[in-house]
Structure formats: C-alpha cells, structure tokens
Amino acid sequence: MCLFCKIVNKEIPSNIILEDDNFIAFHDINPKAPVHILAIPKVHVDSFNEVSGEMMSNMTDFIQKIAQEVKIEESGYRVITNIGDNGGQEVKHLHFHVLGGAKLKWGHFSDADPKGHF
C-alpha cells in the first residue's frame, strides 16, 4: 500500500484541511510556499496518465474548495501535478500540489538541461 493510501486509511497522521467522500487534502510536510496543500483521490490512481475525465472534473471542484478554505482563491495560486520520474513524481499516487500565500517564482527548471530534447 502506498504512502497516500495509508493517509487515506488514517494509518499515517496528516494535517487534513478538507475531505469529502472522494478526495482528501492535507498540508505538505515539505512546503515550497506559505500554503502548500496536497489534494488526492481516495482511490488509488498511479498518476495523471491514468485518471478519468470524470474524476478530474470532480477534482477540479475539490481543488477550488481548497483554495476557498485556505483563502487563496482571490490572491492566486498554482496547481501542479508531477507525472513519472522525469516529471518529478515521488509518490506513485495521483496528487495535486496547491501552492499559494505569496508571489510564486518560476525557478525550479534551473537544473534542467534542454539540450537534445527539442
């Protein structure tokens, strides 16, 4: 069972900020912004490559509720999902990073080498 499935099953504690029948959202333990929430489906889906359109539609509503709950819907926020090893996915369970609470920079690609990829 993956780490996020254990959080869903309450086998591992987390700082939950929002939960419904299908999704759960909790604070990231290694935040990259003043607000850094992870939103995940309660059923295991490996990554964005396997998610259904119906689940994404429902996840969209859930993420918008998260932004309202933590009061970043007006100031702005970023939603990111990483897919696969090259995409930086560390936990093989679909999850979305919801980041906000400050003006976010875009410097995380500084270590990527684009040569030979285009």
- Active site members: 95
Distance CA 23, CA 55 (A): 10
The CA-based angle 75-4-93, given to 5 degrees, is 85
**Could you tell me where the beta strands, DSSP code E, fall in 1-118?**
16-19, 23-27, 35-41, 77-80, 96-100
